[in-house]
């Protein structure tokens, strides 16, 4: 099936803390996907 988004081997670190390691996922058209973290994770509020 067609993919709207495909992510392979996603990694993210903050200083010495690796928070994502080798994450793969795909989102098909019409699907809803959320990657959640702890309270305040990814917050853009001042």
Position 12 in a domain: yes
Q: pLDDT for 1-46, tens place per residue?
A: 799 999 999 999 988 999 889 999 999 999 998 877 777 666 566 6
C-alpha distance from residue 36 to each of 1, 2, 29, 33, 40 (Å): 25, 25, 20, 10, 10
**Residue 38 counted as domain residue:** no
The pTM score is 0.63
Q: Are 29 and 2 in contact (CB under 8 A)?
A: yes
Overall number of domains in the chain = 1
Domain enclosing residue 16, as ranges: 1-30
Residue 35 inside a domain? The answer is no
């Amino acid at each position: 099936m067609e993919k709207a988004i495909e992510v392979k081997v996603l990694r993210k670190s903050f200083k010495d803390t690796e928070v994502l390691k080798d994450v793969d996922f795909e989102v098909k058209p019409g699907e809803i996907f959320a990657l959640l973290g702890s309270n305040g994770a990814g917050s853009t509020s001042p």
